[in-house]
Amino acid sequence: AKIIYLKDYQAPHYTLEHTELHFELLGDYTEVSAELRFKRALTAPKEAVLTLLGADLELLSVAWSGQLLSANDWQWQDEKWQFAGAGEGGVLSTKVRIYPDQNLALEGLYRSHGLYCTQCEAEGFRKITLYPDRPDVLSTFRTTIVADKASCPVLLSNGNCVATGDSENGRHWATWEDPHPKPSYLFALVAGDLAVLRDSFTTVSGREVALEIYTAEVDQDKCDHAMRSLQAAMRWDEERYGCEYDLDRYMIVAVSHFNMGAMENKGLNVFNTSCVLAHPATTTDAGFQRVEAVVAHEYFHNWSGNRVTCRDWFQLCLKEGFTVFRDQQFSADQLSAVVQRLEDVAFLQTHQFAEDAGPLAHAVRPESFVEINNFYTLTIYEKGAEIARMLHTFLGADGFRRGSDHYFKTYDGQAAIVEDFLNSMAVANGLDAGAFVSQWLRWYRQPGTPVVSVNSVWQKDIQRLTLTLTQTQSSKSSSTPESLPIPVRLGFIGKEGELSTSLNGVTANEHLLVLEQAEQSWQFDDVSQVPVLSLFRDFSAPVRVKAEFGDADLAQLIRLDSNSFNRWSASYALATREILALAEQYRSGDLRAHQPQESALAAAIAEVWSELAASDPALAAKMLQLPSLAYLSDQVACYDPEALQRARESVLLQVIAPLQSALGTVLAKQEMLKPYVYSAQAIAARSVEAVALDGLARLQSGAAAAIAQHWLKEAPHMSAEQAALTTLVHHQLPGADDALQAFYARWKHEPLVLDQWFATQASAPQAETRERVEALLAHSDFDATVPNRVRAVIGQFANNNPVAFHDAEGRGYGLIAKQLLAIDARNPQLASRLAGAFGIWQKLDESRQAHILRELDGLLSGDLSSDTRETLS
């Protein structure tokens, strides 16, 4: 496989002034004509070569400035087409034929269920036409689409629609112009029979923007939430980042066959239906929140990604990490900031930390790659967002805003690199740019999660606490890792609550330190009693913390920390400690493990939970959701899924046993049965009831089953229905199978609800689920060409069902390997992502490792896409 290196980057020899495209969408195939106006770059060497890229194209004709060329005039090897006769520049005219119906990889131009659509990021445009398909070549576009009017009444592309008309044989056309220079990965075309919801937005400078959401006719009633989210995001970006929208139209199209969540094509976003459609009857709270976040994320790309784009794909984090940070900030402002933060952190710690510790570890800005599609990772997105957040913490909100203003202004219309972003942050804040860039760049260059060790000494006589922090880089890091700038927000918790302390003469309840060296110490004065440290508040840096907290210390934080996030993280840490200890006892056959033992976590939660359920129900709900097996597996050297699952269940039972009456009080409120409202308060009330029902299922299964049945009967919305169904199925309560059947009968016409139905079954945490998944794969509604359905069954089983996936005989691995092979033949991107589930292999026992390696050897010895081959290798 060919490895591409960042160090080999070379600027293009030709710039592209304008792109003119003409699409004839014909029944069996599509013809694409392109006229590209090139100009030799000022920096180009004497022997400049015009290099374009093309893949899976049937080349019909090529002309240079009006003269037809023949195959002798160019060289075409692999995907690279090269022409040495371009001189100072000219117009290249090409015509190619492509086959959208046969395109099941969903990259380039494809047609599913009659709808034509494109997905060009990262390298899909070269499957549409010969082109300098690289993000540092930007041009204006003018696109004409011609298609059958009856089957494709709607014809869309980027920018503004400048002309339309009818042509012969029942065909019609539309021409679109995008005045903003953009790279090819942001190109989009959509053609089909779609209904549209229209609204508008008036920008801060008074311009009216038409907003349009296109979906299948049957889904028209599910677009209000996306529209409201879009309007909120547009306003928010003006207010928080000074970013105003720049076209007269903003379109979103929902498509059922899509490899990821959504795509930020300029002025014409294409969305997975799961990230745009929402209706209380069919969508859970989590679904509503995802729509809001993804609509905002893609909108925010209009500046962080589109107006300022990436020079090359090594800089992917520049647009993705920054944009994830922006969407996290937005979501925190819409609902509950604490819940948003703890969900984002739990996600990062569970999945990104594991990625960074396993065989797929890489830097936020990698030095090399084989297949760029494999680099849309948690590290680029989530760790990338954490770096932006640390800069925000370090510079303060105003300083960060000065930096982002400088960045957007300086690099507008250009393709930037990570250094440019950091440089803006420094320059706008009057900092030494050289030092700042080189120091912060380390976060982008060094893979692995740093560890921070904590040591504190309190001197009673002088009321002083000396804090020493030490950072070590993970073994994944480069050969000579350097110390990172690590912001540490901290407070001190005494016996009655938060203490005020002094650092360098500043007295406050909270301080911000920056650990820059391998080891550093700070002295805090006026520390009147021995405190428990509340460290890394709101997770101020993406590190693992090694601190010698006793159980009582963590319990003190759970009870008294003023930082809600840290109350939760203390409960998470204590839960982790108790579960791991118990699992270790199971593994070593310690008989005492069968006797219930004291649980500090249970005691601490029992003390605070009832009050919390009333005052902060969202946090109360989170406290009862103990760390998942996926999270726990990252905390151990050797992962024994059975022992961990048993230990987790046992600790959970200890935690909820004393809460039986509190759970009853929560459930008696019946908030779940009230009409749907999308607000932080209503979501919190429903989430604590759902968690209470899950708890009750462990204590009194009959009572829980009765409540679940009642919810199913009376459910005013999908959040209630889904919570009830999950409880019945995951706890194997009486009536579960009937409920599944009834749910199917009621919702079989709604693909996204049916995905949930499949997912609920595929994630049921019992060994028997494997057989059920085999049956689901044979179900008449299982369709392996629809990524959402594949993820609902195969993805849930492999990634969200450790008990069944890690079957000791290896049968779970066998099932996934077989499916992978079939999916890879159609859709490499989808298969390669699913293959990531095997990334855990080194943590498993020898026997499971052997099972996995056997499956991987089998797969690697056969025909595989380069995507999946790279992941499995």
Q: Which residues of this protein are in contact with ligand HT7, per CB under 6 A?
A: 119, 121-122, 259-260, 262-264, 297-298, 301, 320, 376
Q: How far is CA 196 from the centre of its chain?
A: 27
Q: CB-wise, 320 or 755, nearer to Zn ion?
A: 320
Helix axes 316-334, 224-241, angle to 10 degrees: 110
Q: CB-wise, 135 or 810, nearer to ligand HT7?
A: 135
Please state, in angstroms and as integers, the Cα–Cα distance from residue 16 to each residue in 119, 186, 256, 267, 640, following that order: 21, 15, 34, 21, 56
Main-chain phi, psi angles of 83, to 5 degrees: -130, 120
CB 797 within 8 A of CB 769: yes
How many residues line the site for Zn ion (CB under 5 A)? 2
Complete DSSP assignment for 544-558:
EEE----HHHHHHHH
CB 212 within 8 A of CB 186: no
CB of 620 vs Zn ion, minimal distance in Å: 33
From the list ligand HT7, Zn ion, none, pick the one residue 376 interacts with, judged by a Cβ distance below 5 to 8 Å according to partner type.
ligand HT7
- Structure-token pair, residue 376: 């849309």
CB of 516 vs ligand HT7, minimal distance in Å: 32
From the list Zn ion, ligand HT7, none, pick the one residue 263 interacts with, judged by a Cβ distance below 5 to 8 Å according to partner type.
ligand HT7
Strands 14-25 and 139-148: parallel
From the list Zn ion, ligand HT7, none, pick the one residue 259 interacts with, judged by a Cβ distance below 5 to 8 Å according to partner type.
ligand HT7
CB of 427 vs ligand HT7, minimal distance in Å: 28
Q: How far apart are CA 215 and CA 255, in angstroms?
A: 7
From the list Zn ion, ligand HT7, none, pick the one residue 212 interacts with, judged by a Cβ distance below 5 to 8 Å according to partner type.
none
CB of 723 vs ligand HT7, minimal distance in Å: 29
The alpha carbon dihedral of 97, 100, 101, 103 has a sign of positive
**DSSP H stretches of helix in 348-380:** 353-357, 378
Q: In this chain, which residue has its C-beta nearest to ligand HT7? A: 260
DSSP state of 351: I
Q: CB-wise, 74 or 369, nearer to ligand HT7?
A: 369
Q: What Rg value do the Cα atoms of the chain yield, rounded?
A: 28
Strands 506-508 and 415-416: unpaired
Beta bridge partners of 456: 467
Q: CB-wise, 185 or 805, nearer to ligand HT7?
A: 185
From the list ligand HT7, Zn ion, none, pick the one residue 344 interacts with, judged by a Cβ distance below 5 to 8 Å according to partner type.
none
CB 773 within 8 A of CB 245: no
Per the document, the length of the chain is 873
Nearest to 450 by CA among 540, 327, 360: 540
The angle subtended at Cα 272 by Cα 312 and Cα 276, nearest 5°, is 115
216: Cβ contacts below 8 Å, ≥ 6 apart = 194, 195, 254, 256
CB of 378 vs ligand HT7, minimal distance in Å: 12
Tokens 């299922």, located at residue: 697
Tokens 């081959």, located at residue: 869
From the list Zn ion, ligand HT7, none, pick the one residue 121 interacts with, judged by a Cβ distance below 5 to 8 Å according to partner type.
ligand HT7
Restricting to residues 322-341, which ones interact with Zn ion according to CB under 5 A? 323
CB of 252 vs ligand HT7, minimal distance in Å: 13
Beta bridge partners of 80: 53, 77
Restricting to residues 294-323, which ones interact with Zn ion according to CB under 5 A? 320, 323
Q: Which of 20, 212, 298, 750 is catalytic?
A: 298
From the list Zn ion, ligand HT7, none, pick the one residue 618 interacts with, judged by a Cβ distance below 5 to 8 Å according to partner type.
none
Q: How far apart are CA 309 and CA 477, in angstroms?
A: 28
Q: CB-wise, 298 or 634, nearer to Zn ion?
A: 298
Nearest to 355 by CA among 386, 324, 382: 382
CB of 228 vs ligand HT7, minimal distance in Å: 20
- Our answer to whether residue 298 is catalytic in this structure is yes
CB of 311 vs ligand HT7, minimal distance in Å: 16
Nearest to 411 by CA among 309, 260, 532, 524: 309
CB of 231 vs Zn ion, minimal distance in Å: 20
- Structure-token pair, residue 142: 């003018």
Q: CB-wise, 260 or 835, nearer to Zn ion?
A: 260
324: Cβ contacts below 8 Å, ≥ 6 apart = 297, 381, 382, 384, 385, 388
Q: How far apart are CA 376 and CA 355, in angstroms?
A: 12
Residues that bind Zn ion (CB under 5 A): 320, 323
Annotated catalytic sites, by residue? 298
